[in-house]
Amino acid sequence: MERIVGDLVGLRNALSPDEQAILIGHDWGAPIVWNSAFTHPQHFRAVAGLSVPFSGAPQRPFTEVFREHFTSQGRFFYQEYFQEPGVAEAEAEADPRDFVQRMMYSISGDVPVGDYWSKPLGAKFLDGLPDPLPVPWLSEADLDYYEAEFKASGFAGPLGRYRNHEADFEWLRQWQGKRIEQPCLFIGGTRDPATTLFGAVEDPVAMMRLFAPRVEGHVLRGVGHWTQQERPEEVNTLLIDWLERL
């Protein structure tokens, strides 16, 4: 996280040396932009995050959290499965197209309601996930692109982000007790497990106000994890309205 945030600071300095930037990010991009605005407020005048709310500087590494609530109880948690290098890579790279399609469908607002992630420790990521049905926000052309890119790159790079919780905690702990004071926008979905931090938070917008008092929040009914893909017009309207009011 420290290096990625540093990249955004460098990008801002290169592209906009005389004016603060506005950041917008989704999924892993959300904590990246939250923490960029959090740790370098002099560079970023506003920030918007989709799917994942901001919960302040961590009190302990996230590995400790999911091992307490999942691993120690013999329950599967995808981030635990991603920890050992090579394991998740082997499953995903066996058929990148199928992996991406099943993964994306399984946490979307279009998947039938079901507890697909309640499985024992030792299960694989794809075990128990439903067969994906066609959805308008994930076309064959999209899948062609994802398949070609992941066949070329493999999955080690993106999976590596999950293997840095301890390093991220050590870096961010110096900002404990601080808040994001800039204007913030949060957009999540009622069917997105990341919006409620895997069920730990009932009202993500109220929770965020503790750490970002100037947040404006919208939780879209029926939307899963792929916020801007599932509801592009609604998300764009919210973003543009917010940007115009800054």
In 3D space, the residue among 17, 54, 9, 44 whose CA is nearest the CA of residue 205 turns out to be: 54
* Residue 106: both structure tokens together: 């399984």
- Out of 18, 26, 27, 40, pick the active-site residue: 27
3-state helix, strand, coil in the chain (%, to 5): 45, 10, 40
Q: Decide: 38 and 175 in contact? Cβ < 8 Å.
A: yes
* Residue 225: both structure tokens together: 């994890």
- Out of 26, 43, 165, 225, pick the active-site residue: 225
E-only strand ranges, 42-162: 44-50
* Residue 209: both structure tokens together: 């106000």
- Per the annotation, the verdict on 225 as an active-site residue is yes
CA 157 to chain centre: 15
* Residue 6: both structure tokens together: 């540093």
In 3D space, the residue among 118, 107, 106 whose CA is nearest the CA of residue 192 turns out to be: 107
Residue 240 to residue 231: CA distance in whole angstroms: 14
- Per the annotation, the verdict on 27 as an active-site residue is yes
DSSP-assigned states of every residue in 162-182: GG-HHHHHHHHGGGTT----S
Catalytic center residues: 27, 225
